[in-house]
Amino acid sequence: MIELKNKKEIELMREGGRKLAAIAEKIKSAAEVGKTTKELEKLAKNLISEEGGKPSFLGYKGFPAAICTSINETVVHGVPSGKKLKNGDILSIDLGFEWRGYHTDIAVTFPIGKVDKETEKLIEVTEKSLDLAIKRTKAESRLGDVGNVIETHVKKNGLVVVEGLCGHGIGKEVHEDPQVFNTGTPGKGMKLQEGMVICLEPMVTFKEPGIRQTEEGIKTGDLSAHFEHTVAIVDGMPEILTRK
């Protein structure tokens, strides 16, 4: 069941999203060679507390942390640990924030130190696919249109969409209907409408799109990138709630 949000609810999510965007930026700035992801977890908890919110992920379906820290081939749900970040790693941070009863969700992938051009391309293509998808997230579009934009851009650049993972609705719960796939057929799927709030989150890798669950998180067969924004349909058009 789709829970459409009214103007008051979207304003609360807008407030929370701005706070979350600022938190994510500070965590990204703190991630550097030699830092452990457990240190980033501590920082995330402190920043969320300072903003007066709650971590959406901590305890959700048993997840033990406030932030997902996914390194290299771990694409999502990376568990913070004492492992130190190395030059040439890529790190995805995924963070949920509850503010006055409503959740927002954001993810970003970035290099630690220097990476090669192919890895830079992976990150750039994934982020661009999110930008393109956001532009299609408007009233009267369909979910198939949104997924197709991501899939088309990724394939055009010689990369592949990670299988078995998708975006989602969000609001009073961190995961709500509908599922938002990163592939699709134009003109197919649920029609988008005013008041919908969804998380678009393309996940992209080089050649091996299959996934496997490990103690460290969900892995693919190669380096993977993940970007996410919480997007509301306001006056028929997309509004990114998770930005400063």
Q: Give the CA distances from residue 167 to residues 9, 67, 113, 130, in Å, rounded to whole numbers and listed in that order.
A: 20, 17, 29, 11
Distance CA 171, CA 102 (A): 5
User: Ramachandran region of residue 113, left (φ > 0), alpha (ψ -120 to 50) or beta?
Assistant: left
Percent of the chain with pLDDT over 90: 98
Per-residue pLDDT tens over the stretch 57-84: 999 999 999 999 999 999 999 999 999 9
Name the residue among 208, 227, 149 with its Cα closest to residue 184: 149
Q: List the chain residues with pLDDT less than 70.
A: none
pLDDT at 165: 97
What CATH number has the domain spanning 7-240? 3.90.230.10
Prediction pTM value: 0.97
How do 167-169 and 176-180 pair as beta strands? Answer: antiparallel
Which pLDDT value is given to residue 244? 85
